[in-house]
Amino acid sequence: MTIEERGDASLVTHALAKDELSRLRDVETEQVEFRKGLVRLGRICGYEIIDGRMETEYTEIQTPLTTTMGERVKGLDDVVIVNVLRAATPFVEGLLKAFPRARQGVISASRDESAGMNEDGEFPISVEYEKMPDISEDDTVIVADPMLATGSTMCSVLDHITSDGPDPERLIVLSAVSAPPGVVRVAEAFPDVDLLTVAIDDELDDDGFIVPGLGDAGDRAFRTD
Ligand SMILES: O=P(O)(O)OC[C@H]1O[C@H](OP(=O)(O)OP(=O)(O)O)[C@H](O)[C@@H]1O
Ligand SMILES: O=c1cc[nH]c(=O)[nH]1
Ligand SMILES: [Mg+2]
């Protein structure tokens, strides 16, 4: 059964998201364009979240000429965006264009690539810094990380977020590129999470990189390779 048939994740369907992702995948896309592309993709994904997952309500508006009924998005003041350092930083910059009043959390979680994957296909994850706003039952929490590979990082991040405090109204994991093992790991460990991604790629290579993927997102955005 495919991941789509299992219903573990849903796809961002906007054509511009696919266009941006194709540019990001291109090995010729250099640092500045790569970073800007992640910003644009984050904004499109933010709009997609608003469009597909948030409700609107009618409200009376006084224009300079008359009163009329307007439509407003509900819950825009109750959004928390979690930035998984470091590759998510430009992606979150784009999301903030869709959710300018979001409260933000930051968590530094990274894979110990020198240790390699264990036989269960997981990496050891080190969490060195975490600062979260208080999360309430009314909140939409969006955990952003452009890459979901083995899912080790995201499971560690979600453990931190869900370990105390009330459950938010919605908990969305947003990624640009996902690999099947990561989607399955997150969906099984956190069945209530709404997993949204622009693409689900074919597989992981022996080093835990997504294929075809886009390479190391952090290194490409921060020019550290
Ligand atoms: O699903 P996983 O197998 O855990 O892999 C995904 C993680 O790998 C990358 O981060 P990385 O550890 O390279 O840190 P970086 O953002 O600092 O480069 C990426 O940004 C994810 O956080
Ligand atoms: O393919 C991958 C896997 C993890 N992290 C990345 O940046 N790229
Ligand atoms: Mg990296």
The 10s digit of each residue's pLDDT in 72-90 is: 999 999 999 999 999 999 9
- Is 37 annotated to bind a ligand? Reply is yes
Give the angle subtended at the CA of 165 by the CAs of 159 and 171, to the nearest 5°: 60
CA–CA dist 133, 178 (Å, integer): 27
* ipTM for the whole complex: 0.97
Yes or no: say if 176 and 198 are a contact pair by the CB < 8 Å rule.
yes
Average pLDDT of 194-213? 97
- What confidence tens digit (pLDDT) does each residue in 152-182 have? 999 999 999 998 778 999 999 999 999 999 9
Ligand 1 nearest-atom number relative to CA 153: 4
Least trusted range by pLDDT, from 31-35, 37-41, 118-122: 118-122
154 lines ligand 2 (CB under 6 A): no
The residue whose CB lies within 8 Å of the most ligand 2 atoms, and thus the one to mutate among 147, 157, 186, is: 147
Ligand 2 lined by 217 (C-beta under 6 Å): yes
Handedness of CA 188, 158, 140, 147 (dihedral sign): negative
Rounded (10°) CA dihedral 49, 53, 58, 64: 0
Instruction: Classify residue 58 by burial, with Cβ atoms within 10 Å: 0-12, 13-18, 19+.
Output: exposed
Q: How far is the CA of 36 from the centre of ligand 3 (A)?
A: 18
Its CATH class, for the domain covering 3-222, is alpha beta
The structure's pTM equals 0.96
Task: Classify 39 in phi/psi space as left (phi over 0), alpha (psi -120 to 50) or beta.
Answer: alpha
